[in-house]
Amino acid sequence: MNFFKSMDITNEKDSAKTSGDVEKVKCLIIGSGPAGYTAAIYAARANMSPVLYEGLQPGGQLTTTTEVDNFPGYPQGVTGPVLMEDLKAQATRFGTDVRFGLATAADFSGRPHKVEIDNTKTIEADVVIIATGATAKYLGLESEEKFKGMGVSACATCDGFFYKGRDVAVVGGGDTAVEEATYLAGICNKVYLIVRRDELRASKIMQERALRTKNLEILFEHQTKEILGDNSGVTGVRLIRKGNEEVDIKIDGFFVAIGHHPNSDIFAEYIKTDENGYIITTPGSSKTNVSGVFACGDVQDTHYRQAITAAGSGCMAALDAERYLGSLED
Ligand code: NDP
């Protein structure tokens, strides 16, 4: 989809001047998670005058978590929302122009790169840093929504610690689910892995790891019907075994690990992704297949997906963008 197809390119700039709905910037950052804000801190300090659009969920996925104990620099831990406010304050301190708004389309067919915001305004940018993140998939149950943050989580490394010595369940049968389940098995008393089919999708090596883990029980052919709980949070889960038999198990935490959806759809016409939609970057860099467009954070990370790794890749994107801008001036 090319949202400029219907535009008369010759008149585009003139109409911009008069209508004010086209704006030219040097550096556009899309996304406001740790990757976007770290890119902004570096870009602002390099005099790139970054403009950052926050997207649908300002602060990104971390704003939905409670305590974050594994982000360096916070010896007593920090809540996700506070961490994101701190990152935002640091980015604005150096002059980042942080704005509400959602990128709704992109045209990377020529230069400058064009990104449409809220289906109305067009930003023309010399460099674009995509830090749009990924969205964890949920089962879509009413009870799941009700207990989000009260025992339902989509991130074991973020929240697993709160279930030390207790019983939890993980739903999913892919590499993420097995990885999260084995991680939780090291912390928790007992972990149930709820798998809807009679086999795991996870790679053989991960399957073997799961089978070797003594306090991990795999419940094949089980579907989640309802998450049970009270005012204190999750107390159990109701499962359907082999399509008919109802089974309740007692748990304190329910982890959803049925995949993530990288927020790359609007760039798909121009930016190469893998089969799951993750943006492909040149190894060891944040470069995409389009020069002047860089990607960082979870939208390009199938593997680590941590706040600190996202922040690190945001730094890389800003440095790559700065070098790219420098090469244009040479
Ligand atoms: P996947 O898409 O690979 O797996 C999703 C799993 O969730 C599948 O088992 C699927 O079941 C199950 N599922 C989906 N919807 C539901 C539902 N509504 N109810 C119950 N179960 C459901 O996602 P992952 O996040 O696991 O992995 C994504 C990619 O990242 C993969 O390529 C993976 O290899 C990679 N990855 C690699 C890691 C590593 O190498 N260490 C770690 C984590 C991820 P079904 O099988 O029946 O479709």
The distance of Cα 254 from the centroid of its chain, to the nearest Å, equals 20
HEC letters along the chain: CCCCCCCCHHHHHHHHHHHCCEEEEEEEEECCCHHHHHHHHHHHHCCCCCEEECCCCCCHHHHHCCEECCCCCCCCCEEHHHHHHHHHHHHHHCCCEEECCCEEEEECCCCCEEEEECCCEEEEEEEEEECCCEEECCCCCHHHHHCECCCEECCHHHHHHHHCCCEEEEECCCHHHHHHHHHHHCCCCEEEEECCCCCCCCCHHHHHHHHHCCCEEEECCEEEEEEEEECCEEEEEEEEECCCEEEEEECCEEEECCCEEECCHHHCCCCCECCCCCECCCCCCCECCCCCEEECHHHHCCCCCCHHHHHHHHHHHHHHHHHHHHHHHC
At residue 330, the pLDDT reads 74
144 lines ligand 1 (CB under 6 A): no
Tokens 């870009």 label which residue? 43
What is the b/e burial string over 72-97, where b = at least 16 CB atoms within 10 angstroms of the residue's CB?
A: eeeeeebebbbbbeebbeebbeeebb
Q: Which of 27, 155, 188, 296 is catalytic?
A: 155
> pTM (2 decimals)?
0.75
Q: How far is it, in rounded angstroms, from Cα 118 to Cα 111?
A: 21
187 lines ligand 1 (CB under 6 A): no
Active site residue 14: no
Which amino acid residue places its CA nearest to atom 43 of ligand 1? Answer: 176
> Best substitution site from 155, 175, 222 to test ligand 1's pocket, by max atoms within 8 Å of Cβ?
175
- pLDDT tens series, the chain, 330 aa: 334 332 222 233 333 333 459 999 999 999 999 999 999 999 999 999 999 999 988 888 787 666 788 899 999 999 888 999 999 999 999 999 999 999 999 999 999 999 999 999 999 999 999 999 998 899 999 999 999 989 999 989 888 999 999 999 999 999 889 989 999 999 999 999 999 999 999 999 999 999 999 999 999 999 999 999 999 999 999 999 999 999 999 999 999 999 889 999 999 999 999 999 999 999 999 999 999 999 999 999 988 988 999 999 999 999 999 999 999 877
- CB distance 299 to 312 below 8 Å: no
176 lines ligand 1 (CB under 6 A): yes
Q: How far is it, in rounded angstroms, from Cα 103 to Cα 35?
A: 16
Structure tokens at 192: 């149930």
- Ligand 1 atom with the smallest distance to the CA of 172 is 7
Report how far apart, in Å, the C-alpha atoms of 60 and of each of 32, 65, 88, 121, 270 are. 6, 10, 11, 22, 24
At residue 66, the pLDDT reads 65
Active site residue 158: yes
Q: Which residues contact 75 (CB under 8 A, 6 or more apart)?
A: none
182 lines ligand 1 (CB under 6 A): no
Q: How far is the CA of 172 from the centre of ligand 1 (A)?
A: 6
Same fold, 17-135+260-329 and 138-256: yes
Going from N- to C-terminal start, the domains of the chain cover: 17-135+260-329, 138-256
Q: How far is the CA of 238 from the centre of ligand 1 (A)?
A: 22
- Angle, helix 80-93 to helix 34-45, in steps of 10 degrees: 20
- Ligand 1 atom with the smallest distance to the CA of 260 is 25
Q: How far is it, in rounded angstroms, from Cα 203 to Cα 209?
A: 10
Structure tokens at 243: 């399509």
Which amino acid residue places its CA nearest to atom 15 of ligand 1? Answer: 258
259 lines ligand 1 (CB under 6 A): yes
Active site residue 155: yes
Q: Tell me which of 3.60.130.10, 3.90.70.10, 3.50.50.60, 1.10.1280.10 is the CATH number of domain 138-256.
A: 3.50.50.60
Residue 135, amino acid: T
- Cα Rg of the chain (Å, integer): 22
At residue 14, the pLDDT reads 35
The closest of 194, 196, 180, 163 to 260, measured between CA atoms, is 180
Structure tokens at 136: 């964890």
CATH number of 17-135+260-329: 3.50.50.60
The closest of 156, 142, 225 to 186, measured between CA atoms, is 156
171 lines ligand 1 (CB under 6 A): yes
Q: How far is it, in rounded angstroms, from Cα 3 to Cα 326?
A: 29
At residue 176, the pLDDT reads 86
Is omega for the bond preceding 58 within 30 degrees of 0, making it cis? no
